[in-house]
Structure 1
Amino acid sequence: MVICLNQFKPQFDHFVRRRQHERALRVVSISGFTGVELNAGTGRWEPLGNPAQLAANFGSVAGFRRFVQDAGLEGVSSWFWDPAIGFQEDLTHGENPLDPGSRGGLIAHSTWLAEALAELGGSVLVVRPAPYAGHSGPLDDSALHVLADSWNAVGAAIAPLGVRLGLHFDFLSSLRAADALEGLLRLTDPEVVGLALDTAEFVVAGRDPLDFIEHHADRIIHVHLKNAADVDNDEEYLNAGAEYSVLRAGGRRDVARWFTELAEEPLLVDAAAVTKALAAHGYAGWIVVESDMSPHPASSTMLNGWEVQHVLKPITDSSDYSSSMPRPATSISSDEAARRSAVDSTDNR
């Protein structure tokens, strides 16, 4: 299993120094993970955010891979990309997959990221497939067809690079209403478009990840494994600006953290049951462990690492799952900064 380093970047100007990256990677390594997932971003405050920044800060994409390996990890498993993010590196302002006119940009940026990901040893480009519900409202059939055409094109473009496309459903997504997620899956080509299952996002959205695994295991190519602390029963995801008022500020109920460590009460996500279900269906992809909004990212990483080594790994080792699945890894994401937990930023080396 791998881990996501997104929790180490609470603000845009945090987690930008080489020493901080080295410390985080070493914590990840000693906690029993073997790799990391990156989060796409732009500009000098996102030194791990895209291929140009990796080259500028580590000499080359290959130089960053060596940096990761020097910390005792095997490499990068995946990259998370929100296409709404613009890239200063080429003066673009983001793409909307609901706009056919944005499709060329989607393909160009996905290929750019996928080429570097392949060089880093990774195999899945994880994307946020649709706008937030508060931005676009629920999606009709026509919109779903446009989305499907966009992501089919992206999936086909990056497949020759050895990188698969994983659509990531989050609880603020416009795909949450009226079974739109299932509708999009029906319209996309399973040969080039898969699903990145995020267990906590499903639970906060009022969905059961175990039920989804049972009915759609064949579409799952990537997993974000994390626990949830609450459920958005009030459907605040429909509010304009919910990514700030709900996700970051906790909504009307002031939820302190939507996402928690694997063993944290209440156990709204049964990580062991999820792992068993994936094993039963022959899942052979990455499992990326996350702990968004943790105030103590190193502690969260170690707590999750204990669960992986002593609870989850015995499950995978006792099944055929272990013979086909990549070894445990972790990820370093940074695009949804307000969801991420703080890290000591006083070291200026």
Structure 2
Amino acid sequence: MTDLRIGCQTYTWEMLGDGFAGGADDLLDAIAAGGYEGIEITDAMIGAYSGAPDAFARALEARGLTLVSLAVASRSGFTEAGEVEADVETARRWIDFLARFPKAVLSMGSATVMSDGPREAKFRVAAEVYNRAAALGSTMGVGVAVHPSSHHDTLLFSRADYDALFALLDAETVGWVPDTGHILRGRMDMLDTLRAHAPRIRHLHLKDVDVDGTWAMLGHGACDVGAAVEVVRAAPRFTGWVVLEEESDDAAADPAGAVRTNRETLRRLLS
């Protein structure tokens, strides 16, 4: 079994919008203080470091953190045919950035419906973007993966959606960052879904929801944390990183406190 390393995703702060007035260094400080080894930062939260990979590497090293992944989104939802070239170019720029960080993954956000049109066409556009980005990543030694979401207008909500997209993606180059919370909100069988596409798994997003699909602090919802981790640990290309992310009301009130509590909870759940 692969040894586990634990990271933290920065969306916990990003979701606050104007309610968060800090910067990337504040996130690094909070995550390091919370007991994490690694960080998955979003393109929206990396701030001034976006054009300065060497400076970001020094900031991480000073806090004993490893960059697990950089998560990117697009206003096109990766589903607009007229935006394919722009989306691929954005991916290329971040791949160049990540080449500075050994084994860090480019996590591309969920294909999302942004305009009218047949769903089948949107799946094809998203697949083109993901496949081309992954091909670029391969030339630079940077892994690329898809991170499905259950948020509004996602194209990747149900198991049928996952299966439809993955059937269009190159099996060797395009990875998957599964998210337990989003899988459960899609009313899927979490463990069966993880097993079905295990060869694509690069790292795991661990989140919890209650039976109604409302975000909950880790260990307070319907997610069988131990079982999910064991399935992922057996995946052939799993990097060993489990990334905690928190979107509950508790996190909105005190993001640093919430991620610190989740880290303590995971220690207890996996002991």
Task: Give, in angstroms, the shift of residue 175 of structure 1.
Answer: 2.7
Counterpart for residue 134 of structure 2 = 155
**Could you say what secondary structure the match of 1:78 adopts?**
strand
TM-score computed with the length of structure 2 as normaliser: 0.85
- The 2-side partners of 1:166 and 1:136 are apart by 26
User: 266, 277, 281: which is aligned to 2:231?
Assistant: 277
User: 59, 70, 73: which is aligned to 2:62?
Assistant: 70
Query: Greater RCO between the two (CA within 8 Å, min separation 6)?
Result: 1
- The 2-side partners of 1:307 and 1:177 are apart by 28
Structure 2 residue runs of 5 or longer lacking an equivalent are 1-5
- The 2-side partners of 1:262 and 1:118 are apart by 32
Counterpart for residue 216 of structure 1 = 197
* Maintained 8 Å contact 1:81/1:127: yes
Task: Give, in angstroms, the shift of residue 274 of structure 1.
Answer: 0.6
State the AA in 1 paired with 2:36: F
* Maintained 8 Å contact 1:203/1:231: no
Task: Give, in angstroms, the shift of residue 184 of structure 1.
Answer: 1.1
Task: Give, in angstroms, the shift of residue 138 of structure 1.
Answer: 6.8
Counterpart for residue 49 of structure 2 = 54
Task: Give, in angstroms, the shift of residue 153 of structure 1.
Answer: 1.1
Report the CA distance shift for 1:152/1:17 in structure 2 as closer, same or farther (over 3 A): closer
* Maintained 8 Å contact 1:194/1:220: yes
Report the CA distance shift for 1:82/1:275 in structure 2 as closer, same or farther (over 3 A): same
User: 97, 118, 122: which is aligned to 1:116?
Assistant: 97
Counterpart for residue 237 of structure 1 = none
* Maintained 8 Å contact 2:80/2:122: no
Counterpart for residue 28 of structure 2 = 25
Counterpart for residue 82 of structure 1 = 73
- The 1-side partners of 2:259 and 2:69 are apart by 18
- Larger mean CA deviation between 97-106 and 64-73 belongs to 97-106
- The 2-side partners of 1:28 and 1:178 are apart by 32
Counterpart for residue 22 of structure 2 = 16
* Maintained 8 Å contact 1:129/1:147: no
- The 1-side partners of 2:238 and 2:40 are apart by 17
Report the CA distance shift for 1:26/1:145 in structure 2 as closer, same or farther (over 3 A): closer
Counterpart for residue 199 of structure 1 = 180
Matched, 1:2 2:11: no
How big is each residue's C-alpha offset from its partner over 1:220-259, in whole Å with a ceiling of 9 and x where there is no partner?
2221111113435xxxxxxxxxxxxxxxxxxxxxxxxx32
- The 2-side partners of 1:209 and 1:138 are apart by 28
Identity %: 22
Which structure has the larger Rg?
1
* Maintained 8 Å contact 1:196/1:221: yes
TM-score computed with the length of structure 1 as normaliser: 0.67
Structure 1 residue runs of 5 or longer lacking an equivalent are 85-94, 233-257, 315-349
- The 2-side partners of 1:55 and 1:201 are apart by 27
* Maintained 8 Å contact 2:8/2:38: yes
* Maintained 8 Å contact 1:205/1:231: no
Report how many aligned residue pairs link the two structures: 259
* Maintained 8 Å contact 1:138/1:175: no
State the AA in 2 paired with 1:11: G
Report the CA distance shift for 1:5/1:96 in structure 2 as closer, same or farther (over 3 A): closer
Counterpart for residue 263 of structure 1 = 219
* Maintained 8 Å contact 1:138/1:174: no
Counterpart for residue 254 of structure 1 = none
Matches within 5 A, 1:156-305: 156-172=135-151, 173-176=154-157, 179-231=160-212, 258-264=214-220, 267-282=221-236, 284-285=238-239, 286-293=241-248, 294=251, 295-305=253-263
**Could you say what secondary structure the match of 2:64 adopts?**
coil
